[in-house]
Amino acid sequence: MNRPVRKVAIACLVLFTALLVNANWLQVGQASDLKTQPTNGRQITERLERERGAIVAGDQEIARSVSSNDQYKFLRQYPAGKLYSDITGYYTLFTAAGLERSQDVFLSGDDDRLLASRVTGLFTNKQRRGGSVVTTILPAVQQAAAQALGDRKGAVVALDPSTGAVLAMVTSPSYDPSPLASHTEKTAASAYGVLSGDPAQPLLNRATQQTYPPGSTFKLITAAAALSQGHRPDERVPAPDELQLPLSTVRLPNFDGERCGDGETDTLIHALTISCNTAFAKLGIDLGAETLRKQAEAFGLNTTFPDFPLQQARSVFPAKLDGAQTAQSAIGQYNVRVTPLQMAEVVAAIANGGTEMKPYLVSELRGPDKKTITRTSPKELGKPVSGDVAAELTTMMESVVTSGTGRKARLDGVSVAGKTGTAEHGTGEPPHAWFVGFAPSDAPKVAVAVIVEDGGGEVATGGAIAAPVAKQVMQAALDTP
Is residue 405 within 8 Å of 274, Cβ to Cβ?
yes
Give the pairing of strands 362-366 and 356-357.
Answer: unpaired
143 by Cβ neighbours in 10 Å (0-12 / 13-18 / 19+) ranks as middle
Measured CA to CA, the distance from residue 382 to residue 103 in angstroms comes to: 26
DSSP string, 67-108: E-SSSSSEEEE-TTGGGGHHHH--B-SS-B-THHHHTHHHHH
Polymer length of the chain: 481
Of residues 198, 208, 232, the one with CA closest to residue 314: 208
Helices (H), 331-386: 340-351
CA dihedral 332, 336, 340, 342 (to 10 degrees): -100
Residue 83 carries which side chain, given as an amino acid letter? L
Cα separation, 409 vs 450, whole angstroms:
12
Residues 130, 136: Cα–Cα separation, whole Å: 20
- The count of other CB atoms within 10 Å of the CB of residue 371 is 9
Gap between the Cα atoms of 283 and 292, Å rounded = 10
Q: Can you tell me whether residue 301 is helix, strand or coil? A: coil
Tell me how far apart the alpha carbons of residues 95 and 191 are, in angstroms, rounded to a whole number.
Answer: 13
Evaluate whether 419 touches 219 at the Cβ level (below 8 Å). yes
Task: Single out the residue of 49, 36, 31 nearest to residue 94, CA to CA.
Answer: 36
Give the per-residue SS3 of 27-38.
Answer: HHHCHHHHHCCC
Q: Is residue 98 within 8 Å of residue 21, measured between CB atoms?
A: no
Radius of gyration (Cα) for the chain, nearest Å?
27
Residues noted as catalytic: 216
275: left (phi over 0), alpha (psi -120 to 50) or beta: left
Contact (Cβ atoms closer than 8 angstroms) between residue 323 and residue 285: yes
